[in-house]
């Protein structure tokens, strides 16, 4: 992403902000309005509406999205294919892998790997994210389904919208959870202070609900299972951070990248979040499909160290 700052002169005082920015960039007025609605435009550090009228000496900051690459190159990358037919593919995404190409990472992504495993890709979302119906973060591991046909794409999108797809995650969170289970229901929206982050401290966030239960207790951490009722950006990470129990290794929402256990310092290499279970109705045949994958080795190493600290 690139950022640009504009200062309003006396000649522009009183203009609508969407008109003002359109005249000073190569963007159409509707494109500017989309940026404003996404929270990518702030005035003196505060989000505004497209109808806001600029004032002399206003400091306007705009975050422009990166331009995507226009080609998807098949690459022999190591991914585990869990299931595949002519309509969809389910893979176990390793940690550290981006979902699809964009500026800054034109290759080495999950979609580059999937293109190597199949000759058929959906046309929706082409050229670089064909068939992508959901995403997990770069440093989150686990199950992802990608549509290989347009019929499957629209069928899966409908299930996500209707919230009939089951997604279960395993996370290692900081501290000891006081209850054995619970539900977090806090709205999530773009952070007014950090535009690349999400927050529960927003006026107009979207409803978000996460059910959770404790699997294991450790001296300084807890393993929990989380079930998503909604699919907001960074939902689990934001919700548990809001509770004061951020996901271990999360550099954005907790910064708990190391723990002192007895006489050693345990380094956390990435956010300890894994998409373990995925269930949905096949968008073409209607058959219920359900998949599970074990925790990756880097996460198991942390679990063994946490268990050892309480033996």
**Which residues belong to the active site?**
137
CB 41 within 8 A of CB 61: yes
Give the angle 291-295-300 at the CA atoms, nearest 5°: 170
Complete DSSP assignment for 286-306: --EEEEE-PPPHHHHHHHHHH
- Residue of 246, 253, 163 whose CA lies nearest to 208: 163
At 58, list the tokens: 């206003």
Cβ neighbours, 10 Å, residue 100: 21
Torsion of CA 84, 86, 88, 89, to 10 degrees: 30
Complete DSSP assignment for 32-67: HHHHHHTT-EEETTEE--TTPBP-TT-EEEEEEPPP
- Residue of 250, 274, 301 whose CA lies nearest to 170: 274
CB 113 within 8 A of CB 98: no
- Residue of 12, 258, 237 whose CA lies nearest to 139: 237
**Dist. CA 33–CA 22, nearest whole Å:** 9
Name residues whose C-beta falls within 8 Å of residue 111's C-beta, 6 or more positions apart in sequence. 72, 99, 100, 101, 128, 129, 130, 132, 146
- Report the Cα 193 to chain-centroid distance in Å: 18
């Amino acid at each position: 992403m690139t950022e640009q700052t504009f200062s309003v002169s006396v000649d522009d005082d009183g203009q609508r902000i969407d008109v003002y920015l359109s005249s000073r960039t190569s963007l159409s007025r509707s494109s500017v309005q989309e940026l404003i609605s996404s929270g990518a435009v702030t005035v003196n550090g505060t989000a505004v509406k497209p109808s806001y009228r600029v004032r002399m000496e206003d400091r306007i900051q705009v975050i422009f999205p990166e331009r995507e690459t226009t080609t998807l190159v098949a690459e022999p990358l190591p991914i585990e294919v869990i299931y595949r037919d002519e309509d969809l593919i389910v893979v176990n995404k390793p940690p550290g892998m981006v979902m699809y190409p964009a500026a800054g990472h034109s290759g080495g992504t999950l979609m580059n790997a999937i293109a190597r495993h199949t000759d058929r890709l959906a046309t929706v979302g082409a050229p670089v994210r064909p068939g992508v119906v959901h995403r997990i973060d770069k440093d989150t591991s686990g199950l992802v389904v990608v549509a290989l046909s347009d019929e499957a794409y629209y069928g899966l999108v409908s299930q996500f919208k209707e919230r009939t797809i089951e997604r279960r995650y395993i996370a290692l969170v900081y501290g000891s959870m006081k209850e054995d289970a619970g539900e977090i229901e806090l709205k999530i929206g773009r952070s007014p202070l950090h535009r690349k982050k999400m927050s529960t401290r927003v006026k107009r966030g979207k409803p978000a609900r996460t059910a959770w239960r404790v699997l294991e207790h450790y001296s300084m951490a807890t393993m929990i299972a989380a079930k998503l009722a909604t699919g907001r950006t960074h939902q689990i990470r934001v919700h548990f951070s809001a509770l004061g129990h951020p996901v271990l290794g999360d550099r954005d929402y907790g910064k708990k990248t190391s723990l002192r256990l007895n006489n050693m310092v345990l380094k956390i290499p990435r956010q300890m979040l894994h998409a373990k279970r995925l269930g949905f109705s096949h968008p073409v045949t209607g058959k219920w499909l359900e998949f599970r994958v074990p925790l990756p080795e880097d996460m198991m190493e942390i679990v063994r160290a946490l268990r050892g600290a309480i033996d």
